[in-house]
Amino acid sequence: MSDNFYRAFEERYYAPREVIKSIRRQYSPFVELLASLYPGGNTFDLGCGRGEWLELMSEQGLTPFGVDLDAGMLQACKERGLPATQGDAVAHLKSLESDSQVLVSAFHVVEHISFEQLQSVVSEASRVLRPGGLLIFETPNPENITVATNNFYLDPTHQKPIPSLLLSFVVEHGGFETVKTVRLQESPALRSPDHAVRLLDVIRGVSPDYAVIAQKAADPETKERFAQVFATDYGLSLEQLADRYEARTDSVRFRMEKIDARIQQMDERLQLVEVEQRQGADGRIQLVEERHRHAEELRQRAESQLRDAEARAQRAAEGRIQLVEERHRHAEELRQRAESQLREAEARAQHAEAQAQHANALLHAVVHSTSWRVSAPVRIVGAPLRRLTSAISERRLLSGTKRRIKTVLSAGAIELTKRPALKRVALRLVRLSPTLDRRLRTIVTSPAGNASSQSQRDLPQSAREVLDELRASVRASESQ
């Protein structure tokens, strides 16, 4: 291995020099007692490395010396003027005089050497130490699962981890009377008994390093001075963390059991509530079903009523449609009849118009004829004569009226004697009035001895002449 590799490796994967020096102060309770027992005493450090321990020994008033194989590591000692040399530390230990050292130390060395070398170091340390002197072996703690399975093998010069029980036994077997295992570098938080230990703490929370501190046999007074520091417990073992974890687990388990019990009680209550709710729900479901059945009956009834209403509405609509159709047919018949009557009325109107036109033509011809002009006097007396005839038939003539009639008849008779053509027209007009014609015929044909003859004798001469002419005309017409 090159001179600078191990120093660079330690700088990368181990704590800085000042941190390591601070860590080493954990041994101060032992060193201070030793320094008071042997002021200025010699100490020997196997594998001194960068010299952190040598500095601490000097600060405690002791006289340190160190040996290391790695020249790169020793460079830091030379830079600080620390007493160290390169070489085989075990061989140098064997060269030391007996009872010449108050402290022999080896920090992270025993895992680099063979078991035979370890036994040799223990034996030689027991030889060179003065009574009450201390032997310190620090090494990675395989009790820490993470260290034993991973971190230990990060250093390529490590051979195999050494359990604390094995190292303690080797030291005891090597002749040391008092032996103490000190666990080191654990997390400060885990030292508190109130800290809740997790499973991960059990795996990697055990003190990552440990040291076996052994004291060579000494007088009782010296042993008494060191009794307190040897009786003190240091660090955290796997068993301690496991027990705390188990206690916590038991506590958690107890709490979980209580929680489970409460959950079970809650489940039981919940089951009771569910039963009650189910019973209540069954009742509500039954009520809902009854309401549903009632609603279904109402729906069916409504649908039946709706169908009946639709049927009635359909029948009513069909009846109204039939009535409308009948009314329509009747209206159509009335329309056709009206149209027929209208056509007939139009035909009659046309016929009447034709007759009217013919009558107008005749009237026009009559009005513009000579006869019309000649018969003007007859028309004048025609209407009075018709009224006279009606009055005579109803015997409504008064004496004064009769006189006026006679006067009119006399005037007419005189006029007729003057105009023969007018007389012929008058006779035709008389024939147009059946009542007047009968009346005149009665007068004309009546015997001379009855009342009518008497009245006729009362007529003027001219009237009697007209009457006689009328009689003659009547007889002539009858003989024909």
The residues, ordered by sequence, that sit 6+ positions from 399 with a Cβ below 8 Å of its Cβ are: none
Judge whether 48 and 67 are in contact, CB under 8 Å: yes
Residue 438 in any domain: the answer is yes
Label residue 230 by pLDDT band (50, 70, 90). Answer: very high
User: Which letter, b or e, does each residue of 306-332 get, where b requires 16 or more Cβ atoms within 10 Å of its Cβ?
Assistant: eeeeeeeeeeeeeeeeeeeeeeeeeee
Query: In terms of residue numbers, what domain contains 171?
Result: 5-236
Which pLDDT tens digit goes with each residue over 295-322? 788 888 878 887 887 788 678 768 776 8
Judge whether 214 and 176 are in contact, CB under 8 Å: yes
DSSP labels, 292-314:
HHHHHHHHHHHHHHHHHHHHHHH
Integer Cα distance of 422 and 244 in angstroms? 172
The whole-number pLDDT of residue 449 equals: 43
Residue 132, pLDDT above cutoff 70:
yes
The whole-number pLDDT of residue 81 equals: 94
Label residue 131 by pLDDT band (50, 70, 90). Answer: very high
Residue 173 in any domain: the answer is yes
Integer Cα distance of 205 and 366 in angstroms? 160
Residue 462 in any domain: the answer is yes
Integer Cα distance of 220 and 222 in angstroms? 5
Domain boundary among the residues 186, 208, 236 is at 236
Q: CA gyration radius for the chain?
A: 84
CATH number, domain of 224, equals 3.40.50.150
**Domain total for the chain?**
2
Min mean pLDDT across 172-176, 309-313, 335-339, 445-449 is at 445-449
Residue 204, pLDDT above cutoff 70:
yes
Which pLDDT tens digit goes with each residue over 324-349? 688 878 868 888 886 888 788 778 86
Domain boundary among the residues 185, 208, 236 is at 236
The whole-number pLDDT of residue 451 equals: 46
Residue 388, pLDDT above cutoff 70:
no
Domain boundary among the residues 187, 202, 236 is at 236
Residue 322 in any domain: the answer is no
DSSP labels, 332-362:
HHHHHHHHHHHHHHHHHHHHHHHHHHHHHHH
pTM of the model: 0.54
Helix (H) or strand (E) holding 287: helix 238-367
Residue 51 in any domain: the answer is yes
Min mean pLDDT across 181-195, 256-270, 387-401 is at 387-401
Q: Provide the token pair at 131.
A: 């009574």
More confident residue, 444 or 197: 197
Label residue 294 by pLDDT band (50, 70, 90). Answer: confident
If DSSP codes are grouped into helix, strand and coil, which group holds residue 95? helix
Angle (CA) 41-134-207 rounded to 5° is 130
Min mean pLDDT across 76-85, 155-164, 290-299, 323-332 is at 323-332
Q: State the alpha helices, DSSP H only, in 395-460.
A: 399-418, 420-432, 434-445, 451-457
Residue 114 in any domain: the answer is yes
